[in-house]
Amino acid sequence: MSDSSPSPFPAAVIGVASGLGARDPRCRDGPAALERDGLLARLAGRGVHLSWRSTLEPDHRPGQSRIRAISEICNRLAREVGATIRTGGLPVVVGGDHSCAIGTWSGAAQAVSPRGPLGLVWIDAHMDSHTPATSHSGMPHGMPLAALLGHGASRELAIEVAEILHEGQIAPRHVCLVGVRSHEPEEEALLARLGVRIVHMDELRARGLDAVMREAIDIARADTAGYGITLDLDAMDPLDAPGVGTPVRGGIAAPALVESLAACCANDAALVALEVVEYNPHRDVDRRTAQVVEDVIAAVLGPRPAAEDALSRA
């Protein structure tokens, strides 16, 4: 059923047309495909009104390192996200590969820092917590959470992201991962050492998605100035969201995630930004994944379902 009232806060899409961090770079076409598909008009028809602020594209010059180009676009993204938040808006970042999270959440953390730290709910099939020294693939989209936690442990990466990370690091106790089912031991060892809460898929199935999402949001809200949600679309089962670069069977059912987001965090004043990444339109089937992107944004930005009002937090 469509929502009938507009979003109560200004929201703006920031597209990140970059696949430099992924093995399949075609996720760079995700923002343009969603814009052509009429994402804003579809959302407006559901009572969720937002503008398309900008679409950022990397300037990857011949001979330039990929890490340098990713750093540059993340710096630009951090400025866009920060400016949106500081002027009272809610940025909705649409990727592109997940390396853009370095820019999104550094910018958000800096924008809220006068009031306190930032919390983060990371919904993903993967941990994205490799460093260049531990990565099996060398792909930067498997490294953004480690970088945000202050562990981009190679000289090259540390130098390249220092400009945006020096004020924007996120404390491990304010982060919760949800839906993990594909990772390497090095990542889990780092996050365990740091004390990051990880909810694997087997725990999620045992406890139920709503209980897990409430816990994740509680972790991200506790003693923070606000929190963000980053969703890698491969967190969901590939049957529901086939348009991703690294599908992993056995994921979260898309309708269940949409319902849980609507129940647990719709219209939450503590939410400062939303990020949806890794949409690869070349792998999509019958618009399934594009529809999930729309549904997720509508769930988070739309009014809280009346039956769930009791879940709201002070």
From the list 266, 267, 261, 146, the residue with the least C-alpha distance to 212 is 261
260 with 305: CB under 8 angstroms? no
Q: Which helix (H) or strand (E) holds 41?
A: helix 39-44
Q: Active-site residue 282, yes or no?
A: no
Q: Active-site residue 98, yes or no?
A: yes
DSSP conformation letters of 214-253: HHHHHHHHTTSSEEEEEEEGGGB-TTT---SSS--SS-B-
Q: Active-site residue 234, yes or no?
A: yes
Q: Active-site residue 200, yes or no?
A: no
CA–CA distances in Å: residue 270 to residues 131, 160, 283: 30, 31, 34
Active-site position among 80, 232, 237, 240? 232
Active-site position among 3, 72, 80, 124? 124
Active-site position among 80, 275, 278, 294? 278
Active-site position among 3, 72, 97, 98? 98
Q: Active-site residue 232, yes or no?
A: yes
Active-site position among 130, 141, 151, 174? 141
Q: Which residue has the tokens 């990565």?
A: 135
Does the CA dihedral 208-211-214-219 come out positive or negative? negative
Q: Active-site residue 126, yes or no?
A: yes
Active-site position among 3, 72, 97, 126? 126
Q: Which helix (H) or strand (E) holds 298?
A: helix 288-301
Active-site position among 234, 268, 284, 295? 234
Which tokens hold the place of 122? 């990371």
Q: Active-site residue 309, yes or no?
A: no
Q: Active-site residue 275, yes or no?
A: no
From the list 262, 274, 277, 314, the residue with the least C-alpha distance to 108 is 274
- Point out the residues that are catalytic: 98, 124, 126, 128, 141, 232, 234, 278
